[in-house]
Chains A and B, each alone.
Chain A
Amino acid sequence: MEFSQNRSYSTRLAVIGSGLAGFSASIFALDRGIIPYQIGNTGPLAYTTGYFDLLGYLDGAALADPWAGIARLRAEAPEHPLARIADTAIRAAFSRFCGAVTEMGLSYTVSGGKNLNALLPAGLSKPTLSVPATMISGVEALAAREPALIVDFLGLPGFSAREFAANFKAMWPTLKFARLGFPEMETGAEVYPEVMARALEVPAHREALAERIRGAVREAGEVAFVGLPAILGVHAPDRVHKDMERLVSLPIFEIPTMPPAVPGLRLRELFEQALPERGLVLAPHRKVERLELRGDSAILHFTDNFGEVTVKAEAVILATGRFLSGGLAAERDGIRETLLDLPVEQPETRADWYREDYFDPRGHAINRAGLLVDDAFRVLGRDGRPVSPRLFAAGAVLARQDWVRQRCGAGIALATAFRAVEEAAALLQERVG
């Protein structure tokens, strides 16, 4: 990396995107001794539940064993990105990523052979592969139908402990619910999970809240667990969580909430803080405006507070996401890829994008639109051949998957980033050699 007056940088690997695919690509690259340059806008991490799904549903049916699901994909939908990656690589991607996040200070459970059944805020659950340590007790409490007290907060809309208990009642009748005022935020005015989470990083606030929770537990009678919306700290949730458990003298679990939600915020702030410490060159909250492919390199253009910046890269991983993140754009006459106008596999006309029924279990055609790649995750051009040996794609921008309906967002992000980095590393190796 060198600094020059016209603010041009060069890097071996540029990663464009700041979701799970982008950040995991950077982690995998750092593991291989490659120092990437990562640029991405604010990113969609604030929208995640915090759960890392590998594959939760196929054809509307929940999967207890995601690996069996992937085997089915290989037979029935071999073009699905997950079907194109060996189990060993997927396992390595998950365990390496969850391990790295845990090492950086945000503990996740070790991803195993089976899906966990994790809690959702409306009193439902979903299959997922790895959950934050602050949420794992919820999986256990649900599995054993343990008596649990769910707490919500005055002024926090969209999360109702009473709703959670009412919808779980049939299968989990021992649930109880209580509403508390959050210390010093109890006028009834709207309170925000992020603000509560940051407040709980201060010990005095934890003590005040714990005292109220203890009171509610006493009133609730027999209670073995306490469930809270996800508010247990942003920077040190494991510590806040442990301390709250100590103060309340019961195991505590968090439940994901509506965005902008704390679990995603934790990931974003963690990545933005910890990865640069490990060498990543990160231009966060920036959008790459232009990407040029040249014979021996790719040039990225973006603007920061000080003006224009160009980055010359030997390899590029596009982890630009779909419509929400700006990797794809939908015009009245078709879908296009926003940086290079790469060919997008898509339905023939706009009338074919969506099904009539919003919740049709088959999902909408537009959600399977995206970039096509070869087995090395190089982006394919209109002629069906790689656009460039140095242009890779990973994550949700890829075609032929429906990560929302199949609950495979993290799976696709991590596994495809892992493969793209592997192939990019091989390319860079060749060049060195």
Chain B
Amino acid sequence: MPPSDPHSAISRPPRRTRTLETEVLVIGGGVTGTGIMRDLALRGISSILVDKRDLNAGASGGNHGLLHSGGRYAANDTETARECMAEGDILKRIAPECIDACGGLFVAVEGDDPEFAERFAGYCSAAGIPSETLTPAEARELEPALSEKIFAAYTVPDATIDPFRITLEQVNQARDAAGSRFLPHSEVIGFALRDGTILGASCRDNRTGEMFVIRARQYVNAAGAWAMEIARLAGCDSVRLLYAKGTLVISNSRMAKRVINRLRLPGDGDILVPGGTVSMLGTTSDKVTELENLRPTVDEVDRNLAEGIAMVPALASARFIRAFSGVRPLLMAADSGIDGRKASRGFALFDHKDEGLSNFATVTGGKLTTFRLMAEKTSDLVASRLGNTAPCRTAEERLPIGDALRWTTPGFAARYWFSRKDPADAILCECEMVPRSAVDSIVAEAPGAEDEMTLRAIAVRSRVGKGSCQGSFCGIRVSSYLYDRGIYTSPAGLGHMRDFFAERYKGILPVLWGKELPQAELAETLHCGLMGLDVAVPAAAADSETGDETDSETGDGAGQ
């Protein structure tokens, strides 16, 4: 009969508590945390970055991947709008490989407020956003998928970004510049405090349960939606967040060349963003009190579609491959920090001085487009506390394009494979054309590869599992390859495979109808009937996915 607990092989005997030393401990492996890691490294400051899961496991992976031109904020927050423009320009300079400058449209549809639509051009020019007024016919010529019922349209310089790639690049640059390290699946569970100083952070390796300590001179909380929890571990109550869950849905094909924004006050399903070969429609926005176990629901998908169809009618018959959710941390009040204008900027930097701490900072709120600026402001504070006077270089310094960092970009793997013409480099993921050599380079040198690389970790660092089969075939093929490479050596690998499929399923479930559903039926036949994963492999417990972690794994959203 089937072998016993496949996870037994990875539980290790307890060891003496390890202590790691560094200048700065950064908590949170999203775009901001990795941005801080990079910023500090370029000033010559070494850091350790920890995340209780993996890179971009929170809102950094659960978003549209939209680089706002600022048009969305032009009406009521000119400053944020200007900031978006400026930051977008910087990112296009320092990481063009991560960005698709596809442009965007704002369109008003029958029933939307004509006066608001009328005033839009004025808002844009006030914020310095180049915008052109189009007739509905012109707009439909640019984007034939647009509804015939649009009555106003404007162009804006929206763009899209691959948040996975830029995160990987930031970690890599920090590693090269200052020897900084990223530790995935490492959760901060407490701080040792004395006389207004944090002496150390107690951490747990969520894969093994091992406890260890990180000692640093400065501690930075960039945990996004989890920032309030981390701040409380340090005894700080000033970080007060509300959580807004947003769900997006991914179509099987690219419905429009440009970003399509609904020209009205923000609501469900009002932005359609291209991501390589697909489009993403979102988002919903619902207040939640819980951060864990979030998952997209059938109702959220239906709400997005109901609104999206008004802009792009073809969404009614489109095939959707996945939905995903993220949580936006919203600041409740801006009553602490060093920058009085932060409320209007949408992000807040807390120096925690009022709370008697001298080496702790929290940054949260904000948006993907302005993450570099958030990292800059935070690093300014940390550097000055360390007596480092080097200026910020993140706006000028180009991000590196490493071999192991390229695989999250839609279409890259296919272009690479065809240009190399090496038939021996077999394709493991057929939907996204991810070859064996991609897995080899990720396993060898992608951020996090210092540790054990799992199927899920590879998926975060590549397009594996993001195509139309959503990993149901390639998960099996990549796992076999990991066994072949000797990376998996026991039934623990089956447990990882099972986790991977269970995780992908959360995003697939709410879009199962039409042509997608037979694929899911086939996948279940494979995973259960052929692979035996439903009965032979107990649910994951011992490895990284401990109870609090079975989340919304948004981790592929924008990268789609």
A residues contacting B by CB (< 8 A) are 47, 49, 57, 60, 62, 117, 120-126, 155, 157-160, 162-163, 166-171, 179, 187-190, 256, 258-259, 322-324, 326, 329-332, 349-351, 353-354, 356-359, 361, 364, 366-367, 404-405, 407, 409
Say which residue of A158, A162, A361, A364 sits within 8 Å of B476 (CB atoms).
Answer: A158
Say which residue of A160, A259, A330, A405 sits within 8 Å of B526 (CB atoms).
Answer: A259
In the bound assembly, the distance between CA atoms of A179 and B517 in angstroms comes to 37
In the bound assembly, the distance between CA atoms of A324 and B524 in angstroms comes to 11
Contacts of B526 in A (CB 8 A): 47, 258-259
Q: A323-B517, A359-B498 are in contact. Are A124 and B532 (CB under 8 A)?
A: yes
Q: Does B484 contact A (CB under 8 A)?
A: yes
> Does A190 contact B528, Cβ atoms closer than 8 Å?
no
Which A residue's beta carbon lies closest to that of B511? Answer: A332
> Does A258 contact B530, Cβ atoms closer than 8 Å?
yes
In the bound assembly, the distance between CA atoms of A409 and B486 in angstroms comes to 35
In the complex, 30 of the A-B residue pairs with CB atoms within 8 angstroms, ordered by the A residue number, are A57-B535, A120-B530, A122-B497, A123-B3, A124-B536, A126-B529, A158-B473, A158-B477, A160-B484, A162-B483, A167-B493, A169-B490, A170-B4, A171-B1, A171-B3, A188-B426, A189-B424, A190-B427, A258-B476, A258-B530, A322-B521, A324-B518, A329-B514, A330-B512, A331-B514, A356-B506, A358-B524, A359-B528, A367-B521, A404-B528
> Does A163 contact B530, Cβ atoms closer than 8 Å?
no
> Does A126 contact B423, Cβ atoms closer than 8 Å?
no
In the bound assembly, the distance between CA atoms of A210 and B476 in angstroms comes to 28
B158 to chain A, nearest CB (A): 30
Q: A124-B3, A157-B477 are in contact. Are A60 and B535 (CB under 8 A)?
A: yes
> Does B512 contact A354, Cβ atoms closer than 8 Å?
yes
Which A residue's beta carbon lies closest to that of B480? Answer: A160
> Does A162 contact B528, Cβ atoms closer than 8 Å?
no
Contacts of A159 in B (CB 8 A): 480
> Does A124 contact B494, Cβ atoms closer than 8 Å?
yes
- Interface of chain B residues 474 through 510 with chain A (CB within 8 A): 476-477, 479-481, 483-484, 486, 488-491, 493-494, 497-498, 501-502, 505-506, 509
Q: Does B539 contact A (CB under 8 A)?
A: yes
Say which residue of A123, A158, A329, A351 sits within 8 Å of B297 (CB atoms).
Answer: A351
Query: CB-defined interface of B104-119 with A at 8 Å, one 1/0 digit per residue?
Result: 0000000000000000
Contacts of B517 in A (CB 8 A): 323, 330, 366
Q: Does B14 contact A (CB under 8 A)?
A: no
A353 to chain B, nearest CB (A): 7
State the majority secondary structure of interface residues on B. helix
- Interface of chain B residues 352 through 374 with chain A (CB within 8 A): none
> Does A357 contact B502, Cβ atoms closer than 8 Å?
yes
Query: CB-defined interface of B417-449 with A at 8 Å, one 1/0 digit per residue?
Result: 000000111111000000000000000000000
> Does A404 contact B524, Cβ atoms closer than 8 Å?
yes
> Does B3 contact A168, Cβ atoms closer than 8 Å?
yes
In the bound assembly, the distance between CA atoms of A189 and B436 in angstroms comes to 11
Say which residue of B302, B483, B536 sits within 8 Å of A160 (CB atoms).
Answer: B483
State the majority secondary structure of interface residues on A. loop
Give the residue among A155, A167, A351, A356 with the most B Cβ atoms within 10 A.
A167
Q: Does B344 contact A (CB under 8 A)?
A: no
> Does A157 contact B480, Cβ atoms closer than 8 Å?
yes
Contacts of B532 in A (CB 8 A): 120, 122, 124-126
In the bound assembly, the distance between CA atoms of A367 and B4 in angstroms comes to 28
Query: CB-defined interface of B291-329 with A at 8 Å, one 1/0 digit per residue?
Result: 000010111001000000000000000000000000000
> Does B490 contact A163, Cβ atoms closer than 8 Å?
no
> Does A124 contact B531, Cβ atoms closer than 8 Å?
yes
Query: CB-defined interface of B443-465 with A at 8 Å, one 1/0 digit per residue?
Result: 00000000000000000000000
A315 to chain B, nearest CB (A): 28
Q: Does B2 contact A (CB under 8 A)?
A: yes
Q: A170-B3, A187-B423, A350-B298 are in contact. Are A158 and B494 (CB under 8 A)?
A: no
Contacts of A330 in B (CB 8 A): 512-514, 517
B526 to chain A, nearest CB (A): 7
Q: Does B525 contact A (CB under 8 A)?
A: yes
Contacts of A364 in B (CB 8 A): 524
> Does A188 contact B423, Cβ atoms closer than 8 Å?
yes
Contacts of B494 in A (CB 8 A): 122-124, 167
Give the residue among A47, A121, A358, A367 with the most B Cβ atoms within 10 A.
A358
A52 to chain B, nearest CB (A): 12
> Does B521 contact A323, Cβ atoms closer than 8 Å?
yes
Q: A163-B483, A332-B514 are in contact. Are A359 and B533 (CB under 8 A)?
A: yes
In the bound assembly, the distance between CA atoms of A51 and B2 in angstroms comes to 17
Contacts of B518 in A (CB 8 A): 323-324, 326
Contacts of B534 in A (CB 8 A): 60, 359, 361, 405
Contacts of A322 in B (CB 8 A): 521
> Does B525 contact A47, Cβ atoms closer than 8 Å?
yes
Which A residue's beta carbon lies closest to that of B4? Answer: A170
> Does B3 contact A404, Cβ atoms closer than 8 Å?
no
Q: Does B522 contact A (CB under 8 A)?
A: yes
Query: CB-defined interface of B337-356 with A at 8 Å, one 1/0 digit per residue?
Result: 00000000000000000000
Which A residue's beta carbon lies closest to that of B299? Answer: A351
> Does B502 contact A358, Cβ atoms closer than 8 Å?
yes
Known: A157-B426, A359-B533. 10 other contacts (CB 8 A): A60-B534, A124-B2, A124-B532, A170-B3, A187-B424, A258-B473, A258-B530, A324-B518, A359-B527, A407-B529
Give the residue among B6, B494, B534 with the most A Cβ atoms within 10 A.
B534
Contacts of A155 in B (CB 8 A): 424, 426
Say which residue of A47, A166, A359 sits within 8 Å of B489 (CB atoms).
Answer: A166
In the bound assembly, the distance between CA atoms of A166 and B498 in angstroms comes to 16
In the bound assembly, the distance between CA atoms of A377 and B12 in angstroms comes to 56
Contacts of A126 in B (CB 8 A): 529, 532
In the bound assembly, the distance between CA atoms of A218 and B1 in angstroms comes to 29
Give the residue among A166, A354, A359, A405 with the most B Cβ atoms within 10 A.
A359
